[in-house]
Chain A
């Protein structure tokens, strides 16, 4: 059974700081790994999706890496802004499009 863990559970940083969010998964037989953002009272917004054959994906100030052999993914946010404050969730996908989510990292970027 796939288990996904995210560390830290919560993080508070000053504006402008670069930060890394961590995601680990127990079963390396994944199809892809996806990072989502969740704002209070809203649904999930997909940020980045890394296929199992890829090592990283980039979108603007976001960079996600994947190391299947060690069961780890990281989300790097450069030059953080208050608007980045949200909960970040990673999800590992096996065949059949079943997503197994982590518990999330709650990020607060302060002025």
Chain B
């Protein structure tokens, strides 16, 4: 069974530029999560989707971050404009249902200069 796929794996941009990350969850998984992991910290949930609806986006900086999950499958996370403090690993996870085990992708490592 294929795992959670993410791209790109690495991205380097300058501050004030925009960037987008892509996630393809495990087939059949209804719930999708985006986490931000700053160096030396544990992952922090940014947004959670149930199919194509948002369940929790309470920690998403909505002035610069946006996310969508069209057709309830793939998802994109966008940052516009990026700040230095956005440098982090962005992890995507999926689960079969609302309260099932989460499976994580390899992450996208973002460096903002």
Interface residues of A (CB under 8 A from B): 4, 31, 36, 41-46, 49, 89, 91, 95-99, 101-104
When A and B form their complex, what is the total count of cross-chain residue pairs whose Cβ atoms lie within 8 Å?
54
Instruction: Give B6's nearest chain A residue, CB to CB.
Output: A43
- Given known A96-B98, A103-B41, contact A43–B104 (CB-CB < 8 A): yes
Report the minimum CB–CB distance from B1 to chain A (whole Å).
Answer: 15
CA distance A91 to B42 in the complex (A): 9
Whether a CB of chain A sits under 8 angstroms from the CB of B95 is: yes
User: Do the beta carbons of A44 and B104 come within 8 Å of each other?
Assistant: yes
CA distance A105 to B63 in the complex (A): 33
- Given known A4-B42, A89-B42, A102-B42, contact A43–B100 (CB-CB < 8 A): no
CA distance A8 to B106 in the complex (A): 25
Q: Which chain A residues lie closer than 8 Å to B105 at the CB level?
A: 43
Q: Bin the interface of chain B by size.
A: 20 to 34
User: Do the beta carbons of B4 and A99 come within 8 Å of each other?
Assistant: no
CA distance A49 to B102 in the complex (A): 11
User: Do the beta carbons of A97 and B95 come within 8 Å of each other?
Assistant: yes
User: Do the beta carbons of A104 and B98 come within 8 Å of each other?
Assistant: no
- Given known A44-B91, A97-B31, A98-B48, contact A103–B100 (CB-CB < 8 A): no
- Given known A97-B95, A101-B43, contact A42–B101 (CB-CB < 8 A): no
CA distance A61 to B100 in the complex (A): 25
